[in-house]
Amino acid sequence: MLFKLSLKNIRKSFKDYAIYFFTLILGVAIFYIFNALDSQTVMMNVSSNTRDIIKLMTNLLSGVSVFIAFILGFLIIYASRFLIKRRKKEFGIYLTLGMSKRKISMILFVETLFIGIISLVVGLAIGIILSQFMSILVANMFEADLTKFTFIFSNSSFIKTLIYFGIMYLFVMIFNTINVSRCKLIDLIHGSKKSEKIKLKNPIICIIIFIISSCILGYAYYLVTNGINSLANAVEIFKPIIMGAVSTFLIFWSLSGLILKIVMSMKKLYYRGLNSFTLRQLSSKINTTVVSMTIICLMLFVTICVLSSALSIKNSMTHNLKTLAPADVEFYKTLDLTEEIANSNWRYNINMIEDSKISARETLEKLDYDIDKYLKDIIEFNTYSTDDILIKDTLGSYYDEAHRLYPLADFNAKEEFIKLSDYNKIARLFNLDELSLNDDEYIIIADYEQTNIMRNESLKLNTPITLLGKTYSPKYDKVINGFYHMSSNHMNTGIFIVPDNAVDESIRIQSVIIGNYNVKIEKEKENIENIVRSIESHPYASMTNLQTATKLHIYESSVGLGAMVTFIGIYLGIIFLISSAAILALKELSESTDNKERFIVLRKIGTDEKSLNKALFNQIAIFFMFPLLIAIIHSVFGIKFCNYILSSFGTNQLLPSIIMTASVIVIIYGGYFLITYICSKNIIKDR
C-alpha cells in the first residue's frame, strides 16, 4: 500500500513540480558531461603537450566537481524542503487517519528513491547523448583532429555520477525523515494557511541602513577598480568581497521595508488593480526572502563574472596568438652570471656560470643544433641593463605618485635596453613599426596596459635618463606598442630603445636569437620542432640556462589554457545559474501553492483571470528580476576587477563574451522564469 501511495504521489507531484525533476535531470546530465571529458579526449589526435594540458584540465574538473556536488546537494535538500512544506496538510491527514510518522517517513523514502532513480536514468541518458556533441566542442577548443570520432561511454563519469548523486539522495532521505518526525499535527493541518506576519519596519532605520550599506558597497566598488592598487596582498582582496556580500544583504533588508512603505504611500499605484494584493503577497514572506535573495544575487554575480571572464580569456588568447607569436622559434639566455646570482635564483645553478659567458649561438652549437641549417630570417642580438638605472629612476618626479598608486610594483627592478638597429630588425620580422632616434633620444616600447599608464605619465614629464655617462630624453610622450619576447599574452612592461652607441658589452644581460624554420612545406615544421624540443635531453642542457619559445608550443599552451579556463568557467557558471533559478522557481511554486486559496477568494469577489494572471506574473517577475538587477550592477565592477587581474591576456574580446553570457542567462534564467509562471498559473487555476 505504501508503495502504491508513493507512486501515486510521484505522478501527482510531477505535473505541478516539473521544475524540480527538470533541475535534477539537468544537474545529473551536466555533471556527467563535464566529468566525461577525459574519456572523450582519448580519441583526439593531439600533441603530447596538449595531452598534458587536457590531463590537467580533467584533474581540475574532478576537483571542481566535488564543489559542484555540494551545491547540487544543497539545491536538492532546498527543493525537498519546499515539497514537504507543500504537502504538510496531506501528511496531517495521514496522521489523523492513524498512520504513524515512521510510515510517512517510509513513503518519503520510497518517493525520494524513485525520484532519484528516474532523475539519474533520464539525466544520464541525456548526458551520454550530449557528451558526444561535447566531444566536437572539445576538439574545436583544442583544434584537434577528430577523424577517429566514435561513440564514447565514460565508465568513470558514470560511476562518479552514481556515487555523488547517491550520497546526495541519501542525505535528502535523512533530512526528510528528520523533518517529518519533528512536525506536530496542528502545524501540518494548518501549514498551508500559515504565513509570516507582515512587519512594517521602521522606515527611518531602513533609510539609515540603506545609506550605510550603499556607502559600504560604493567603497567596495572603489577598491576593486580605482583603488585596486591599495590592496597590498592577496588577503586584502577578500575585504571588498566581504564588504560587498554584507552590504548586499543590508540593501535587500532595507529595501524590503522601504518598498512596502513607499508603495503604500503612493495611493494611486498601491490601489491600482491587484497591486496591493501582489505587494502584500511579496511582503508576507519577507524574512526568508531577504536571505534567499542575497544568496541568489551573489550566485548570479559570480555566474556573470565567471562566464564573461572565462570566455574573454579564451577569445583574447586566441586573438593574441596572431600578433604575439609571429616567428617560429626564439632562443634566449642570461649572460655573465655571477656566483651570487646563480645561488640566489632558482632558475640558475653554479654549473651555468661558464656557459653564461658565451652567446646563444655558441651554446646551440654545443647542443648540436645548427641554426643556419634549421632556421632562416635569423636575428641575433643582445639586451642590456645596468644597476644605475632602475624603474624608479626612469619615473622622475612621478615616482612618489606611482609608488602610492602601485604599491605592489617592483620599482627597484633594472630597466632593459635594446639597440635601435636590433629592434628595427625585430620590427621588420614581427610586422611592427620601425623606429628612428637622434643621438640623445630614447623610446619606450610596451604592451602591458597597466604599466603603460605609469610609463606615459613619466614620459609626459620629459623624464631624462643617464646611461653610461650620457643623458637621453624621450622622443615621444607615450609608449610605443612593441615587444620582442614571444608569448601568448601582453607581458612587456617596458623596454628602452636607445641609439646603437648608447650601450656596450660591459652591461649586456641577455643573448637572443629569433628566426623561422627553414622549410618549404608547413608540415615539415613539426620535424624541426621535435629537434628543438630534443635539446632539453642533450647532456649539455644542464650546463646552460638557455630557454626556448616556439610558436607551436605557445599556440598549444594558449589554446589549452584558454580551453581549460573556459570549460571550468562554463561548468561553474551554468551550475550557479541553474541553482539560482531553481531556488527562485521552487520558492515561487511553493508560494503559489500556499496562495491558491487566496486566488480562489479573488475569483469569488469577481476578479477576472487576466488580472489574476497579471498579478501572478508581476509577483514572479519581481522575485526573478530583483536579485538579477543587483547582480548586474555588481558585475559591472566585478568584471572590471577580473580584467585588471587578467589584463595581460587582453580585454579586446570582452564585448562578445558579455553578449554570450547575457544570451546564456536569458535562455536559462529566462526559461526558468517562464516555466515557473506557467506552472504557477496551472497551480492557482480553479479546477
Which residue did the predictor score with more confidence, 180 or 630? 630
51-65, 237-251, 410-424, 523-537: least confident range: 51-65
Residues 189, 199, single domain; the answer is: no
269-283, 396-410, 542-556, 652-666: least confident range: 269-283
111-120, 244-253, 539-548, 647-656: least confident range: 647-656
The pLDDT value given to residue 524: 73
- In this structure, are residues 627 and 256 in contact, taking their beta carbons and an 8 Å threshold? no
**C-alpha span between 43 and 153 (Å, rounded):** 12
The answer to whether position 283 is within a domain reads yes
Environment class of 412 (CB within 10 Å of its CB; exposed 0-12, middle 13-18, buried 19+): exposed
Candidates 486, 509, 506, 514; CA nearest to 496 is 509
Residues 209, 109, single domain; the answer is: no
| pTM of the predicted protein model | 0.71
DSSP letter, residue 184 = -
DSSP letter, residue 376 = E
The answer to whether position 542 is within a domain reads no
Q: Does position 148 have pLDDT exceeding 70, yes or no?
A: no
The pLDDT value given to residue 509: 93
Residue ending a domain, choose from 537, 564, 579? 537
Residues 22, 125, single domain; the answer is: yes
Residues 89, 201, single domain; the answer is: no
| Residue 333: its H or E element | strand 329-334
Provide the residue type at 485 as one letter.
H
The band of 425, judged by pLDDT with boundaries at 50, 70 and 90, is very high
Q: Does position 543 have pLDDT exceeding 80, yes or no?
A: yes
The pLDDT value given to residue 196: 47
Which residue did the predictor score with more confidence, 151 or 514? 514
3-state secondary structure of 370: coil
Residues 126, 222, single domain; the answer is: no
The answer to whether position 530 is within a domain reads yes
Residue ending a domain, choose from 140, 169, 194? 194
C-alpha cell at 97: 487517519
C-alpha cell at 296: 541568489
Which residue did the predictor score with more confidence, 665 or 555? 665
**C-alpha span between 129 and 35 (Å, rounded):** 14
The pLDDT value given to residue 231: 62
**C-alpha span between 663 and 311 (Å, rounded):** 13
The answer to whether position 346 is within a domain reads no
Regarding beta strands 547-550 and 465-467, do their DSSP bridges make them parallel or antiparallel, or are they unpaired? unpaired
The answer to whether position 487 is within a domain reads yes
**C-alpha span between 209 and 251 (Å, rounded):** 8
Segments forming the whole domain that contains residue 373: 369-537
102-116, 388-402, 405-419: least confident range: 102-116
3-state secondary structure of 190: coil
Which residue did the predictor score with more confidence, 657 or 318? 657
Residues 312, 410, single domain; the answer is: no
Q: For 1-35, give the DSSP string.
A: -HHHHHHHHHHHHHHHTHHHHHHHHHHHHHHHHHH
**C-alpha span between 263 and 501 (Å, rounded):** 77
C-alpha cell at 505: 658589452
DSSP letter, residue 685 = S
- In this structure, are residues 32 and 154 in contact, taking their beta carbons and an 8 Å threshold? yes
Residues 36, 182, single domain; the answer is: yes
**C-alpha span between 457 and 474 (Å, rounded):** 12
- In this structure, are residues 348 and 355 in contact, taking their beta carbons and an 8 Å threshold? no
**Distances from the Cα of 461 to the Cα of 358, 482, 631, angstroms:** 40, 22, 42
Which residue did the predictor score with more confidence, 52 or 498? 498
The band of 557, judged by pLDDT with boundaries at 50, 70 and 90, is confident
Number of domains in the chain: 3
**C-alpha span between 562 and 141 (Å, rounded):** 8
Which residue did the predictor score with more confidence, 24 or 425? 425
Residue pointed to by grid coordinates 535538500: 77
**What's the rounded mean pLDDT across residues 202-216?**
85
pLDDT tens profile 347-389: 888 889 999 999 999 999 999 898 988 899 999 999 999 988 9
Q: Does position 187 have pLDDT exceeding 60, yes or no?
A: no
**What's the rounded mean pLDDT across residues 211-239?**
77
Show Cβ contacts of residue 674 under 8 Å, excluding neighbours closer than 6 positions.
none
The answer to whether position 362 is within a domain reads no
Residue ending a domain, choose from 163, 194, 225? 194
**C-alpha span between 302 and 306 (Å, rounded):** 6
Residue-level length of the chain: 687
The pLDDT value given to residue 67: 79
Give, in degrees to the nearest 5, the angle at Cα 185 between 182 and 191. Answer: 90
DSSP letter, residue 498 = E
Most confident residue range from 24-33, 173-182, 555-564, 643-652 = 24-33
The pLDDT value given to residue 581: 86
The answer to whether position 329 is within a domain reads no
Q: Does position 175 have pLDDT exceeding 50, yes or no?
A: yes
- In this structure, are residues 547 and 330 in contact, taking their beta carbons and an 8 Å threshold? no
C-alpha cell at 214: 550603499
H-only helix segments in 595-608: 596-604
The pLDDT value given to residue 660: 82
Q: Does position 671 have pLDDT exceeding 80, yes or no?
A: yes
Q: Where are the beta strands (DSSP E) in 493-541?
A: 495-498, 508-517
Report the b/e string of 259-290 with b at 16+ CB within 10 A. Answer: bbeebbeeeeeeeeebbbbbbebbbbbbeebb
**What's the rounded mean pLDDT across residues 174-180?**
71
Q: Does position 634 have pLDDT exceeding 60, yes or no?
A: yes
Show Cβ contacts of residue 437 under 8 Å, excluding neighbours closer than 6 positions.
420, 443, 475, 497, 498, 499
Residues 235, 291, single domain; the answer is: yes
Residues 150, 204, single domain; the answer is: no
**What's the rounded mean pLDDT across residues 455-471?**
91
DSSP letter, residue 433 = P
Residues 165, 25, single domain; the answer is: yes
Show Cβ contacts of residue 415 under 8 Å, excluding neighbours closer than 6 positions.
385, 389, 390, 391, 393, 394, 465, 494, 496
Residues 596, 630, single domain; the answer is: yes
**What's the rounded mean pLDDT across residues 303-314?**
78
**What's the rounded mean pLDDT across residues 154-174?**
81
C-alpha cell at 520: 618549404
The pLDDT value given to residue 360: 92
Q: Does position 287 have pLDDT exceeding 60, yes or no?
A: no
The answer to whether position 358 is within a domain reads no
Residues 408, 425, single domain; the answer is: yes
Residue 625's CB is within 10 A of a number of other CB atoms, namely 13
**C-alpha span between 657 and 313 (Å, rounded):** 9
**C-alpha span between 42 and 44 (Å, rounded):** 6
Q: Does position 540 have pLDDT exceeding 60, yes or no?
A: yes
Indicate if the alpha-carbon torsion angle 467, 473, 478, 480 is positive or negative: negative
348-362, 465-479, 597-611: least confident range: 597-611
- Interhelix angle 275-283/596-604, rounded to 10 degrees, is 160
Residue pointed to by grid coordinates 621535435: 530
H-only helix segments in 325-417: 339-344, 360-366, 371-374, 391-394, 399-405
Environment class of 456 (CB within 10 Å of its CB; exposed 0-12, middle 13-18, buried 19+): middle
**C-alpha span between 184 and 48 (Å, rounded):** 64
Q: Does position 73 have pLDDT exceeding 80, yes or no?
A: no
